[in-house]
Structure 1
Amino acid sequence: MRAYLFSSALLAGCSYVNPLTVAQLAQVSPLEADPAGFAAQADLPEGLHIRDGGAVLQITATNGATGEDLQGAFTLRQQGQIHVLSDMDATALRALQATIRAWKTANPDDVHGSLTITIEGCTSGRLPAPEDTINVALRVAPDAPLRPVLRNLPVSELLAETPGNTFPPCNTPAPG
């Protein structure tokens, strides 16, 4: 059972999504952005945490001309109050970006893909109250500020979209 704070919230809590940030993020090319700048920050109520290894950046691409698929998943590591890619993962992601850019150069209309960040929550101690709120911010460039993506999303809204309407305890192994 997974409780994805970010991706589920985007689906369920459209009124909590900051449209200005979404518009700004849409202007960033995931193939040109420096992976060293990717970061996520979640402001969570007491008792709700990001599961160890639960902040993941995923990139996928399909080359329709050749039938090739490419995917990579990179766990963001906690660095102070934010989650970022390790230097090794940033290097690996740059290599994937280069491959996809080469595909797009050869077949501009036949290459499609996505870049997503998911944040998996868990609880320890007290459970958050339904009226407690969650805020999520993202950064996509090393010199850019963190930009709010979700603001004041009530825990109850997120739980309504979460299997079992609950968050798993933090001391249980992450689902594989």
Structure 2
Amino acid sequence: MFPARLTALACLLLAGCASVVPSTAARLAALDPLTADPGAIEVVVILPEGLAVKPGSARLEFGATRGTETRKGSFVLEDRPVRTAVAGPEGSSARGFALTEADAERMRALQAEIAAWKREGKARGTLGLGLGGCGVGDGPAPDATGSVLIRMAEDGPFLPLIRDGKLADLLGAEVLAAIQPCEGAE
């Protein structure tokens, strides 16, 4: 049986567990990643001043594990206009991301493959987000914070997943200090 929960929203996100909004995590845990429409998944990242997303680095990771077997895929998230009002600290910027049409189709195919595969035994699903960051100007301040909103249904609301998480906690102090200057990032 495939647990009807998302076991990981990783890479950038769950390293800062203290900043995760429990009500959103609970709502995401109630979703079945095999039935979620990939074309409806949208993420808004609120970046602090001095931090940008490297072009082409945003990815959604989806998969399942059954015993020692794994089925997984990595899917491109493209920049999308942020169509909802989001508030952030002064100097922050909001970036929207969603799957490309081609990768939404690839993810649907993987969902179908995993659904057939899980009928043969217990499986555990994962859904993760990865973003490559780069510095603008002097880069982000050591105490900079960021937020992440997620929407899993086209007509659903954006839910706050991470609220004002300290980058040093989310990324780790070493990673934050090692952020390179942007080349062509907005």
Q: Tell me the TM-score normalised to structure 1 length.
A: 0.82
The offset of 1:45, in angstroms, is: 1.3
**Aligned with 2:178 (options 161, 166, 176):** 166
Distance in 2, Cα, partners of 1:161 & 1:139: 29
The amino acid of 2:22's aligned partner reads: P
Q: For the residues of structure 1 that align with 2:70 and 2:166, how far apart are their CA atoms? A: 37
1:30 aligns with 2:41: no
Give the match for residue 4 of structure 2.
none
Partner in structure 1 of residue 164 of structure 2:
152
> 1:158 Cα deviation (Å)?
3.5
- Aligned AA for 1:128? P
Q: Which has the higher strand share?
A: 1
- 1:100 maps onto 2:114 in alignment: yes
Structure 2 counterpart of 1:91: 105
The percent of aligned pairs where both chains have the same amino acid is: 38
Matches of 1:158 and 1:15 in 2, distance apart?
Answer: 9
The aligned counterpart of 1:58 is 61
TM-score of the pair, normalised by structure 2: 0.77
Q: Distance in 1 between matches of 2:12 and 2:99?
A: 22
Tell me if 1:128 matches 2:140.
yes
Alignment gaps of 5+ in structure 1: 1-5
Contact 2:167–2:176, Cα closer than 8 Å, also in 1: no
| Residues 47 and 101 (structure 1), Cα distance of their counterparts in 2 relative to 1, 3 Å cut | same
- CA shift, 1:8, in A, is 4.0
Unmatched 5+ stretches in structure 2: 1-9, 83-95
Match of residue 79 from structure 2 = 78
The structure carrying a bigger helix percent of its residues is: 1
- Kindly indicate whether the alpha-carbon contact (under 8 Å) linking 1:60 and 1:71 is maintained by their aligned counterparts in 2: yes
- Find the residue that maps to 1:7 and give its secondary structure: coil
> 1:98–1:139: structure 2 CA closer, same or farther, 3 Å change rule?
same
In structure 2, distance between residues paired with 1:8 and 1:162: 14
Q: Which moved more, 1:17-26 or 1:148-157?
A: 148-157
